[in-house]
Amino acid sequence: GAVVSQHPSWVICKSGTSVKIECRSLDFQATTMFWYRQFPKQSLMLMATSNEGSKATYEQGVEKDKFLINHASLTLSTLTVTSAHPEDSSFYICSAQRGRGPGFFGPGTRLTVL
């Protein structure tokens, strides 16, 4: 159990376009989903926390108008990178948590903006 999927696995896009990344908990209902970003050789940095049906809470320094998060249901959260630029190129990972248990990570999405 506790499987989390992300789609797509990798995406290459042109500067100025928007990219949507989906995170799904496949076999459990996630009360909370977290979005992280990881740059090469660095640790995971939390971007935002989202609870189903409410607005996401963004970490300091993360632009909420640029990184749109929609937590539509207990099994699906989406992160949309709007007007992506090369500096947004990174590895984006979601984590889904049920109750007070540990978060389970999706396999991540590699975003490359040309």
Partner 1 sequence: EDKVVQSPLSLVVHEGDTVTLNCSYEVTNFRSLLWYKQEKKAPTFLFMLTSSGIEKKSGRLSSILDKKELFSILNITATQTGDSAVYLCAVELNYGGSQGNLIFGKGTKLSVKP
Residues that bind partner 1 (CB under 8 A): 31-32, 34, 42-46, 49, 51, 93, 95, 97, 100-108
Burial of 94 (0-12, 13-18, 19+ CB in 10 A): buried
Q: Which is nearer to partner 1, 14 or 100 (CB)?
A: 100
For β-strands 10-13 and 109-113, DSSP reports them as parallel
For residues 67 and 48, the answer to whether their CB atoms sit within 8 Å is yes
Q: What's the closest the beta carbon of residue 37 comes to partner 1, in angstroms?
A: 11
CB of residue 63 to partner 1, shortest distance in Å: 18
Cβ nearer to partner 1, comparing 2 with 13 = 2
